[in-house]
Structure 1
Amino acid sequence: MTTVHDLRTDELGAAAPLLDRLPHARGALAFVRHGRGIAAWGEAHRLDVRGADAAARIQVWFEDLVRSAAAAGDAEPVVFVSLGFSPEDPSVAVVPRVAWRSGPDGLQQILGDRGAGSQPRPTRLTRPGTIRWSDPEQSALGYRAAVASAVQAIRAGELGKVVLSHDLTAVTESDVDERFLLGALADRYPSCWAYAVDQLVGASPEMLVERHRENGRLVVTSRVLAGTGWAEHVGDPVVADLLASAKNRSEHRYAVDSVASVLRGVSTSLDVPPEPQALVLANLVHLATDVVGELADPAPSALQLAAALHPTGAVGGYPRDAALELIRRLEGRPRGRYAAPIGWMDARGDGEFALALRGALVDGRCVRLTAGGGLVADSDPDSEVREAQVKMIPMRDALES
């Protein structure tokens, strides 16, 4: 088999009916795929935190809010969370004032005043206009040198895999409307998870963890991606070449093992397919493995699971500590919330967290894109530079559409 099938099939078409609910150009909160998901706005409560215990502090804070809402007879809150990649990076959690969910029963408002006039009139959707591109800190040549250094370290036996990234900055003519980016990404990449939390906007192909209830069971799923291919020329056999690539399969196995080792510790059963499949997206192909299990009781929340998994071998490397040290040394700047868990959770602890990939941090007219790739002993620096550029195409196209 050469193509990954969705864990749960929900082909509903464009996400516009849900994203159209977002009334403002900034402050969007969203997590949408195939037209289903959740979109919200406003800040009823917010927590900004740093440190190795950031997720744990957010969990306690949100549980307190859930208890307070129950005591007051208010609607159960939901929380959007975007964790920092490292303890030094900022993490943010937002409980929105208004939230809408789209599912099998259509659009439903789950938070906020449901009375007449509660839905504000949306402001006009605007385009960013002319765009100027630049390397913010590390040029493509600098990134290539960093990749070459990392590959040398791997071949010397210092570690097995590391994931390196670099940035690209866009300065736009007008302030960027987050809804414009979300809509373009959701329409062009419907099988990805279009996300927005605190100015971090993107469309991730990689579901780090989902916790949901199914036929009385508490189910955990994770879509692991590592290993990438793309067509340099029309007619290139991308899927077949990727599936046969020893380099990409080695990179992928590190990522799968890092996820499975964590989930086995909290699951009563776990299915880890022995062979990856090919996930075909609009502009490239990934090796993918869908891991599915049943959680033991009592089960960690979706946020706790995401924190336990992060950073997987798909965004950090192996061994973890050696990879993170090399990332700090060679990238030369904080990752912020790039490649970290981003998603939402409800009052029961169910939720979804993707990895914050194929996205950008939006700050008015400045947009910072970040992308990279996994490196193993057989990695070629020139190919890795090209891969990072290809992974920026979704956001570049969204800005320029």
Structure 2
Amino acid sequence: MGAGLRFPVMTSLPTSHPDTAPLAPLVTRTVALSPADGTALLSLLPATSPHDTTSWVRRGEGLVGWGRAASVTAHGESRFALLESWWQSVAASAVVRDEVDLPGTGPVAFGAISYAADSPSGATLVVPSVVIGRRGDQWWVTTTTTPDALPPTVDPVVHDDVEAPGEVAFADGSLSPAEWAGAVAEAVTRIQRGDLDKVVLARDLDVRTAAPVDVRWLLSRLAESYESTWVFAVDGLVGATPEMLVRREKGLVTSRVLAGTIRRTGDDDHDLALAASLARSSKDLEEHEYAVRSVADALAPHCSSMNVPEAPFVLHLSNVMHLATDVAGVLTDATSSLALAASLHPSAAVCGTPTPVADALISELEHMDRGRYAGPVGWMDTSGDGEWGIALRSGAISAEDPQRMSLYAGCGIVAGSVPEAEVAESDAKLIPMRDALTATRP
């Protein structure tokens, strides 16, 4: 399993022809794998292009992949439907041998979808040439090729050639902190006069590194520091999200909603007091209620036996604490995980309420293209099962220059928001990616 292996790559399909399948069917085989005891899933990733490395890992379990057996990119309002149609065509024509038969085995597509329909970033599905998965004590490897190519032989080799990006320089993105605080103040004014209830405003940071960014470096550092998040990489988008937009597995649909945040101090007693204050904060509880309601309303047409807890719990992460609610339901139709994600996007947790008014205000005040930040990111198998998070605590590596990145963070703004406090909260949310970039080898 060396960096010298080459895998077939299929050209992305024209987005105007969603019913066009790849030129040849995919041939996929999944077999059990037995790596050495103590092997970390992320350590099995070889060196490859940042845009051909894929990851969806939490607490050492999940999926990693590399290479590109097939891919498609779509734009516009119909981008979700285009991806769904393409994947159905791929799945229908694929030749599959699956000796493990778990969610995430067989053909798997990783996806990253733009927040806005008009974003040049678009929405991409990638079928890696190799995927290694782990669930509990079960490991597997999936290889995907075309009929005229032999599948690669994959050994679970630990790669220790990961290098730090060297010196890192950060610069203001579209708005300086002071300018962004002004945007927050304007949003509060609009909310207080009754134009809308909530809006989520994001800001960006420009990053330059001395050496090309190795996605594996970022993934490993993020996984070490934020083990309760989903550490992801798809098509150059990389991050660690605490928010599960939707999971579909064997008929059960779940979603974790986060809204309402407070920064940790590192003092356990003080943080417990802060957590209690967060749980009582009318501003944060109001923001959280909007987000939970938007998710429950979107899932209700597809689910029965919906469980929506009356009160949130406090989720403790390394740098911040969030109000969190887990929503669950039983799927009553054949809607795929990707289609469920489409029905949920954009939720109040990343846009606001009412959605059309909040979305218009985002376009007016942010002065940037979010790209795939705050859009769905995750994976799906041919049964429609999969996991889609919200691309938070993340950055996008430039396709033209691997020594450039954009980092993103956002905050929910309601009537009681204070601009200076929101700047501090956004700084806290940028810490995971900033620290991962500047970390030294342990």
SS at match of 2:94: helix
> Compared with structure 1, are the counterparts of its residues 333 and 240 closer, same or farther at alpha carbon in structure 2 (3 Å cutoff)?
same
Matched to 1:45, the amino acid is A
> Compared with structure 1, are the counterparts of its residues 120 and 69 closer, same or farther at alpha carbon in structure 2 (3 Å cutoff)?
farther
**1:270-349 equivalences in 2 (<5 Å):** 270-296=306-332, 298-349=333-384
- Tell me if the contact between 1:15 and 1:35 (Cα under 8 Å) persists in the aligned partners: no
TM-score w.r.t. structure 2 length? 0.83
Aligned length: 382
Give the aligned partner of residue 4 of structure 1: none
Structure 1 residue 85 corresponds to structure 2 residue 115: yes
SS at match of 1:392: helix
Give the aligned partner of residue 226 of structure 2: 189
Identity score, percent: 42
Give the aligned partner of residue 416 of structure 2: 378
Superposed CA offset, 1:130-157 (max 9, x none): 1111002210011000000000000010
Give the aligned partner of residue 21 of structure 1: 44
Alpha-carbon offset, residue 120 of structure 1 = 8.2
**1:224-243 equivalences in 2 (<5 Å):** 224-231=257-264, 234=267, 235=270, 237-243=273-279
Among residues 118, 128, 132, which one is paired with 1:96 in the alignment? 128
TM-score w.r.t. structure 1 length? 0.91
SS at match of 1:223: strand
- Tell me if the contact between 1:195 and 1:202 (Cα under 8 Å) persists in the aligned partners: yes
Matched to 2:318, the amino acid is A
- Tell me if the contact between 2:257 and 2:349 (Cα under 8 Å) persists in the aligned partners: yes
Q: 2: CA distance between counterparts of 1:36 and 1:121? A: 16
Alpha-carbon offset, residue 264 of structure 1 = 1.0
Q: 2: CA distance between counterparts of 1:286 and 1:123? A: 35
Among residues 201, 205, 209, which one is paired with 1:164 in the alignment? 201
> Compared with structure 1, are the counterparts of its residues 320 and 94 closer, same or farther at alpha carbon in structure 2 (3 Å cutoff)?
same
> Compared with structure 1, are the counterparts of its residues 171 and 15 closer, same or farther at alpha carbon in structure 2 (3 Å cutoff)?
farther
Superposed CA offset, 1:215-264 (max 9, x none): xxx10000000000124584252101100100000000000000000111
Backbone CA RMSD of aligned residues: 1.9
Alpha-carbon offset, residue 118 of structure 1 = 6.4
Q: 1: CA distance between counterparts of 2:386 and 2:165? A: 32
- Tell me if the contact between 1:271 and 1:291 (Cα under 8 Å) persists in the aligned partners: yes
- Tell me if the contact between 2:43 and 2:158 (Cα under 8 Å) persists in the aligned partners: no
Residue ranges of structure 1 left out of the alignment (5+ in a row): 1-13
Alpha-carbon offset, residue 123 of structure 1 = 7.5
Superposed CA offset, 1:149-208 (max 9, x none): 000000010000000010111211111100000011011111100000011000000000
> Compared with structure 1, are the counterparts of its residues 232 and 249 closer, same or farther at alpha carbon in structure 2 (3 Å cutoff)?
same
Alpha-carbon offset, residue 332 of structure 1 = 1.1
Q: 2: CA distance between counterparts of 1:223 and 1:381? A: 27
> Compared with structure 1, are the counterparts of its residues 300 and 373 closer, same or farther at alpha carbon in structure 2 (3 Å cutoff)?
same
Q: 2: CA distance between counterparts of 1:337 and 1:127? A: 24
Q: 2: CA distance between counterparts of 1:36 and 1:48? A: 28
- Tell me if the contact between 1:66 and 1:76 (Cα under 8 Å) persists in the aligned partners: no
Q: 2: CA distance between counterparts of 1:100 and 1:281? A: 27
